[in-house]
Amino acid sequence: MCNYLSSETPLNIVSKLAKKMSKGEIKISIDQMQEAGVNFGHKVSKLHPKMKQYVSGIKNNVHTFDLDKTALELQKTLNYISKLVADGKQIIFVGTKIQLKEIVKSSAEECGVPYVTERWLGGTFTNFETISKRVAYYKELEKKRLTGELEKYTKKERLDFDRELEKLKTKFEGIKNMTKLPDAVFIADLSKDEIVAKEAIIKKIKIIGIADTNVNPEIADYIIPANDDSISSVKYIFEKITEAVLTAKQTTKK
């Protein structure tokens, strides 16, 4: 699904990237990416053959990314997200890996987009109508607690409602305002959350994601070849995505 780069020299790639930046697009710094550890992949033995074209070398038995190519793919992704948001379409962020949850959640909240950082509920895309009913129940129960409607119940019953609300919040808080299927999904780890990509493919939802060296990039429409384990790497990428979303929203308002 993903359109790959042709066999261009790094100089050509950097030249194209520089031209894009000059048009006022989100600034990407290869030096900053390197400082954030974006360039480190997985051990050599875990390389997916279709990620080989994005690899530039090996360091301490770990593959390293060609950051010129990563920068170009990141720019393509940011351009797509900017247009998506400017057109009034919706994107959802997904990242259930423990060390990435807070980054994904805070970025989503800053952008005002839905998110999932806990276990992905099977059917969130493919059985959206049923999931929506559970979300509606959660919102109604939450409303009743806020308005004091649950005060008429016994202490034990209120405690049961509180426990149920906490469970529902964990499952649905990030998608409680998602009234329809999104147009695109950004997956922080295409390997760990492969089930999300599978559901997105079934529902024809565009897939964007970080592709580490162990990932089959063909499951996504847009990839960012990068380290998906490092907090600093993923944070750098989400900072750029957040900037792209907020900029597109601001531009649309004018």
Determine the Cα–Cα distance for residues 21 and 93; give it in Å rounded to an integer: 25
Q: Looking at the domain assignment, is residue 16 inside a domain? A: yes
pLDDT tens per residue, range 22-67: 344 789 999 999 999 999 999 999 999 999 999 999 999 999 999 9
56 domain-assigned: yes
Q: Which amino acid is at 199?
A: E
Q: Based on the domain organization, do 116 and 45 belong to the same domain?
A: yes
| Token code pair at residue 38 | 């974006």
- Model confidence band, residue 254 (pLDDT cutoffs 50, 70, 90): low
Is the distance from CB of 80 to CB of 74 less than 8 angstroms?
no
Whether residue 238 is predicted with pLDDT greater than 90 in this model: the reply is yes
- Establish if 22 belongs to a structural domain: yes
Choose between 149 and 230: higher pLDDT.
230
116 three-state secondary structure: strand
The count of structural domains within the chain is 2
Q: What is the CATH number of the domain that holds 249?
A: 3.40.50.10490
CB proximity list for 28: less than 8 A, separation 6 or greater: 17, 21, 71, 74, 75, 240
The answer to whether residue 5 is domain-embedded is no
Among 145, 175, 205, where does a domain finish?
Answer: 175
Looking at the fold, whether 108 and 57 belong to one and the same domain comes out as yes
Look at residue 192 and give its three-state secondary structure. coil
Per-residue pLDDT at 5: 38
Please tell me whether residues 217 and 141 are part of one structural domain.
Answer: no
Same domain, 146 and 33: no
The pLDDT tens digits of the residues spanning 93-139 come to: 999 999 999 999 999 999 999 999 999 999 999 999 999 999 999 99
CB 223 within 8 A of CB 210: yes
* Structural domain contains residue 99: yes
Task: Please list the residues that pair with 63 across neighbouring strands.
Answer: 58
User: What's the CA gap between 168 and 118, in Å, rounded?
Assistant: 11
* Strand, coil or helix: 229: coil
Distance of CA 130 to the CA centre of its chain: 23
**Predicted local confidence at residue 151, as pLDDT:** 85
User: Do 110 and 231 fall within a single domain?
Assistant: yes
DSSP 123: T
- Residues spanned by the domain of 132: 128-175
pLDDT at 220 over 80: yes
Same domain, 23 and 38: yes
**Digit-coded pLDDT (tens) for 142-195:** 999 888 888 888 889 889 989 999 999 999 999 999 999 999 999 999 999 999
Mean pLDDT across the chain: 90
Co-location of 145 and 195 in the same domain? no
Distance CA 52, CA 56 (A): 8
Q: Examine the domain organization and report whether 69 and 185 are in the same domain.
A: yes
pLDDT at 149: 86
Residue corresponding to tokens 């994601």: 209
The answer to whether residues 48 and 161 belong to one domain is no
136 lies in the same domain as 202: no
Q: What is the pLDDT of residues 5-30, one digit of tens each?
A: 333 444 454 444 444 443 447 899 99
Instruction: Specify if 2 maps to a domain.
Output: no
Of residues 21 and 212, which shows the higher confidence score?
Answer: 212
Examine the domain organization and report whether 74 and 186 are in the same domain: yes
Distance (Å, whole) CA 160 – CA 149: 14
My answer on whether 57 and 92 are in the same domain is yes
Structure tokens at 246: 């907020």
